Amino acid sequence: MVKVTANNIEMRFGSRLLYRFDSLSIAQQQTVHLQGDNGSGKTTLMKLFAGLQTPTSGRIQAHGFSSSPWWRRNPLLGKAVYLHQHPYLFDGSVAYNLNYVQPFCELSTQEIRQRTSSAIEMAQLGPLMQQQAASLSGGERQRLAIARAWVMRPKLLMLDEPTSNMDILSQQLVLTMISDLKTQGTGMLISSHQSCSLTSLCEQSWQIEQQQIMATDAASPIARLNQHKRELHYVTAN
């Protein structure tokens, strides 16, 4: 089983302390709901675990993965897949974007073909395959990005507000794909302001508050109270 651990972390932007914590880890078969106010550092935390950002101090390590290529200077890169709420897509068609990840998959050619075919169906991308990715709506772009990650069957996946600005149909399609990845053992860190069907998949909650990160079981009274407070704050602010 693979995992990424973060120990004795302090994260600052200039003189501003974002947060500090002693130890957190995300592993396969672990699904975590990440919560916190806007600007609290949720995206930054995901990027730390994905190797896309370096902490001000502390150490982040990957365990149980195959060795990185000699030319990859950052051993964390490529271990966890990070998906932003506004995902990056390449110039070209939907088909090009979906197939782009094939060289990076640790799967057989037959498995890749089967998963690509399944992903097209699950995300309902069939009618869009020859369309330019740049012309997709926000929800369609997110469905494509998550379908692309689903093809890879990543061991760890960071999902930053994956259903924001999605219609009901797109939310249901994304939920199906993410639920399937959970069944396959993918470890996931899911950022979302509110509880929803997607966050109900999570067994643990990480709350960023007052420059600290508190980890609790998702079903615990503390986690439920924190979520209730956040939903009241979200409704009031909007």
- Write the burial class of residue 28 (CB in 10 Å: 0-12 exposed, 13-18 middle, 19+ buried): middle
Sort strands 57-63 and 3-13 into parallel, antiparallel or unpaired.
Answer: antiparallel
Tokens at 237, concatenated: 């602010």
pLDDT for 65: 86
Q: What is the pLDDT of residue 75?
A: 72
Look at residue 237 in the predicted model and tell me its pLDDT: 39
pLDDT of residue 97: 96
pLDDT at 165: 77
Q: What is the pLDDT of residue 71?
A: 65
Name the stretches of the chain with pLDDT < 70. Answer: 69-73, 219-238
Classify burial at 187, counting beta carbons within 10 Å of its beta carbon; exposed 0-12, middle 13-18, buried 19 or more.
buried
User: Measured between alpha carbons, how far apart are the two ends of the chain, in Å?
Assistant: 41
pTM, two decimals, is 0.87
Output helix, strand, coil percentages for the chain, rounded to the nearest 5.
35, 25, 35
pLDDT number for residue 230: 47
The per-residue pLDDT for 79 is: 84
- pLDDT score recorded for residue 78: 77
Q: What is the pLDDT of residue 70?
A: 58
Give pLDDT, residue 194.
76
The DSSP letter of residue 69 is: P
Q: Are 215 and 204 in contact (CB under 8 A)?
A: yes
